[in-house]
Amino acid sequence: MEKDTIIILNKTFEEYAYEQDGIDYWLARELQTLLGYAEWRNFLNAIEKAKESCKTTGEDVSDHFVDINKMVKIGSGAEKLVDDIMLTRYACYLIAQNGDPKKEQIAFAQSYFAIQTRKQELLEERITLNERLQAREKLAITETELSKNIYERGVDNKGFANIRSKGDWALFGGYNTIAMKRKLGIAENRPLADFLPTITITAKQLATEITNFNVKKNDLKGEGNITNEHIKNNCDVRGLLGKSGIKPEALPPEEDIKKLERRVKTADKEIAKKKLIKKKE
């Protein structure tokens, strides 16, 4: 395929994209033209095949293929109501995959929507990673603040570790920190929170924040009093999670957050490097 043709097709496909609530979509009757289908009924066959492909991937068809009606002009200022379909990027990808790759437009669309879909997946993955990293950093800050706070009230580092472990015992339904590490297959010298999902990290952070607040507010002193406070707060947070059917101890471990951190930093360097090269060009 000629470079000029690729540039033209890329511009055309992007110009026909719409956006609603942050989601890109295309209209089937316009995509029909872009993909070189002369007959609507033939294009509908391609759409039906795409819907079947969508089902086999476990996706909800109604999330990607939305039936709509619209008014179109038919001449002399008259209009008529016609059926149309809102198609997500993924739906367009599936339609293109079920088309004839010998047709130039479809060959382009197969690559175009595959790349665009992958970009979306990478963006969503990046956001998820950042949310988990941010939650972990917030927990570390809150725990450091609590550690300093209770140190002034007669609790040393060993006492802080005991308080945190008892808090985990309350949050994880009877599993203290060491027990949870064993349950999830985490090395004893690694922090438990580095392997927890975002929801659990956030739960731990909230309970710790409340403990910190009440220790200051009520001027709690001594390991025993602060431990009881921390247990209570973790029990309360566990109860809140339970209302949504979430049992923290039953959630599987996630990838080591240190690896995620390295991956994000590497990706940032690659992006910066590409931008620099592009700028020099």
pLDDT, averaged across the chain: 83
Domain boundary among 120, 147, 165: 120
Higher model confidence: residue 22 or residue 159?
A: 159
Q: Is the domain of 251 the same as that of 175?
A: yes
In a domain? residue 276: no
**Residue 51 backbone phi and psi in degrees, to 5:** -65, -40
Confidence bin at 107 (pLDDT 50/70/90): confident
In a domain? residue 264: no
Higher model confidence: residue 146 or residue 106?
A: 146
Answer yes or no: are the C-beta atoms of 186 and 253 closer than 8 Å: yes
Q: How much of the chain exceeds pLDDT 90, in percent?
A: 41
In a domain? residue 266: no
What mean pLDDT do residues 103-110 have?
A: 73
Q: Is the domain of 53 the same as that of 149?
A: no
Q: Is the domain of 133 the same as that of 217?
A: yes
Question: What tens digit of pLDDT does each residue of 235-260 get?
Answer: 999 999 999 999 999 999 998 888 87
Q: Is the domain of 116 the same as that of 140?
A: no
**Residue 58 pLDDT exceeds 90:** no
What mean pLDDT do residues 213-217 have?
A: 95
Question: What tens digit of pLDDT does each residue of 130-160 get?
Answer: 788 889 999 999 999 999 999 988 899 999 9
How far is the CA of 47 from the CAs of 60, 98, 238, in angstroms? 15, 8, 46
In a domain? residue 279: no
Please list, in sequence order, all residues whose beta carbon lies within 8 angstroms of the beta carbon of residue 261, skipping any fewer than 6 positions away: 133
Full-model pTM:
0.58
Q: Is the domain of 160 the same as that of 232?
A: yes
Domain boundary among 75, 95, 120: 120
Question: What tens digit of pLDDT does each residue of 265-275 get?
Answer: 776 666 566 55
Q: Is the domain of 187 the same as that of 250?
A: yes
In a domain? residue 274: no
Domain count, the chain: 2
Please list, in sequence order, all residues whose beta carbon lies within 8 angstroms of the beta carbon of residue 48, skipping any fewer than 6 positions away: none
| Euclidean distance between the first and the last CA atom of the chain, given in angstroms as a whole number | 24
Question: What tens digit of pLDDT does each residue of 167-182 get?
Answer: 999 999 999 999 999 9
**Residue 44 pLDDT exceeds 50:** yes
In a domain? residue 183: yes
Confidence bin at 6 (pLDDT 50/70/90): very low
pLDDT for the residue numbered 1: 41
Q: Give the residue numbers spanning the domain of 17.
A: 3-120
In a domain? residue 281: no
Q: Is the domain of 16 the same as that of 48?
A: yes
Q: Is the domain of 116 the same as that of 134?
A: no
Q: Is the domain of 113 the same as that of 137?
A: no
Q: Is the domain of 222 the same as that of 186?
A: yes
Domain boundary among 59, 87, 120: 120
Q: What Rg do the C-alpha atoms of the chain give, in angstroms?
A: 27
**Residue 278 pLDDT exceeds 60:** no
**Residue 37 pLDDT exceeds 50:** yes
In a domain? residue 206: yes
Q: Is the domain of 42 the same as that of 101?
A: yes
